[in-house]
Structure 1
Amino acid sequence: MATSSAAGKTIVITGGAGGLGKAIASAFLAADANVAVFDVNEARLKETAAEWEKYGDKFITAQIDITDETAVNTFFANASAKFGRIDLLVNNAGIMDKFDAAGTTPLDLWNRVIGVNLTGAYLCTKAAINAFETQSPSGGTIISIGSIASVRGLNAGAAYTASKHGLLGLMRNTAGFYGPKGIYSIAFLMGGMNTNVIDAFATGVNQEGMATVTGANPFDPAKQFVGLDDVAKYCIFFSDPAVAETSNGATININKNWPSA
């Protein structure tokens, strides 16, 4: 059997204890990579760590608020110290808004969504770049989990849409500044997935806003949900630096052609 290109690499995944992050982390562990994940949800972390015991010392987990720069930097330092280097960051952590337009978005919700989806991704991108530049050999790759809401205006509320548009700008700027240094940055533009992002709906949504969004973008989960394991395969593919270099600064649509126009 051919050895996976991910074997021996070290992968940091944010929001890695559930949903898409867990699927990505599990795929890398199965490919003989080292995995470092953090998540804000302590219960999910404990459950996931128990499931991964068969991988021995190939992984580390930590409960961290992604908006805490000191905690983020400490985690990256610990991952580098344990595994010797970091090869790939997957900016996966994200939360949904409640389909509010700008005129009805509460400031605290705006700050929370921007904080997790954009500021958190910036803090992790910054920490990863600092690790990539100082390790030997230098270099690494950053995959940011964007959304069709990164390029479309009516697939979510104002806060989520702005955060994912901003994430795309961060990705492209990083690609431009650091590509010549062997640090590559790409984004996946995701369609609908069955992930923990829907936790935000537990306390209710703006029904009028949701009706506006779903009316503009009819969605059939049975046909249009993107499989989490399939997204993980893309991550493993782009963990090869030679492949990542060819797509530096690019967006990769993973959405089953939804919406189609």
Structure 2
Amino acid sequence: MSTTPKVILITGASGGIGRACAVALSKAISPLVLVLSGRREAELQATAAACTGATVEVVPGDVSDEADVRRMFELVQSKYGRLDVLFNNAGVDLLNSVPIEDADMATFRKVLDVNVMAAVLCTAAAVRLMKAQSPPGGRIINNGSISSESPRPDSAAYTVSKHAILGLTRSTSLDGRKYGIAATQLDIGNAQTDMGGHAAKGCRQADGSIRPEPMMGVKNVADTVVFVAGLPLEADVQRLSILATGMPFVGRG
């Protein structure tokens, strides 16, 4: 077993998928340094308290803000000298079931700032660090969505953002080759979280009806992130989908 800790940074770690993944990683990988980012410091501290067996750094901030991202990565570089895995997990869905013609454009831009630009800023900073560290290389995991392939009705802002993440993942995978940087898009469907749990009560389908959909426990997502994060860099997972069995996706609607 290596005595050098693996350093993993998770954005959006104050709850939901981010918290579940942080806890699962803390139990699965040793030695481990977890750097947890999010806007809600009290909730980040709660995530940190649930992570056993890992060194945890809590870095409150807004990852759509370039200064906050710079500060976070400077801390990682100065204190630990490397980054092995970045999980771009932070995201919002602020215009759920709102037709594009009725959407508030300021809110639409907010979705793009958090879902896209935050991942862009963190990816750029991670690549700078990963290609300069010794040995070079690392892994970037992006929280995508099955909406990056098949949208829900009236979800233009979220769908546009997740299609953009697919482009970011593929560009990172290609451009990162020469530095030993792998990139994975994890497309998630109907995980039971505060953000996604509404599907259990009913979601609008392509035919206009509203029907409850199957859900899966968020631990399934966490176990998948543990698997991808634990792979040696000789293995590259380009894209992986995990969704609740039976949810509308293949032939959605």
| TM-score past 0.5 threshold | yes
Q: Is the 8 A contact 1:145 1:189 kept in 2?
A: yes
Alignment equivalent of 2:141, drawn from 137, 140, 143 = 143
Larger mean CA deviation between 11-20 and 77-86 belongs to 77-86
Q: Which runs of 5+ in 2 are unaligned?
A: none
Alignment partner, residue 156 of structure 2: 158
Q: Is the 8 A contact 1:13 1:90 kept in 2?
A: yes
Alignment partner, residue 206 of structure 1: none
SS at match of 2:143: strand
Q: Is the 8 A contact 1:90 1:145 kept in 2?
A: yes
TM-score by length of 1: 0.83
Output the aligned Cα RMSD. Answer: 2.6
Alignment equivalent of 1:238, drawn from 213, 216, 228 = 228
Higher-RCO chain (CA-CA 8 Å, sequence separation at least 6): 1
Q: Is the 8 A contact 2:151 2:159 kept in 1?
A: yes
Q: Is the 8 A contact 2:23 2:47 kept in 1?
A: no
Deviation at 1:194, TM superposition (A): 2.0
SS at match of 1:184: strand
Alignment partner, residue 37 of structure 2: 38
Distance (whole Å) between structure 2 residues aligned to residue 240 and residue 47 of structure 1:
24
TM-score by length of 2: 0.86
Alignment partner, residue 125 of structure 2: 127
1:90-140 deviations in whole A, cap 9, x for unaligned?
A: 011110132212101101110111110001011111111111011100000
SS at match of 2:151: coil
Distance (whole Å) between structure 2 residues aligned to residue 162 and residue 60 of structure 1:
32
Q: In structure 2, give the amino acid aligned to 1:16.
A: A
Q: Which runs of 5+ in 1 are unaligned?
A: 202-209
Kindly tell me the number of residue pairs found equivalent between the two proteins: 242
Whichever structure has more helix as a proportion of its residues is 1
Q: Is the 8 A contact 2:22 2:47 kept in 1?
A: no
Alignment partner, residue 86 of structure 1: 83
Deviation at 1:30, TM superposition (A): 1.4
User: Among the aligned pairs, what percent are the same residue?
Assistant: 31
Distance (whole Å) between structure 1 residues aligned to residue 186 and residue 212 of structure 2:
19
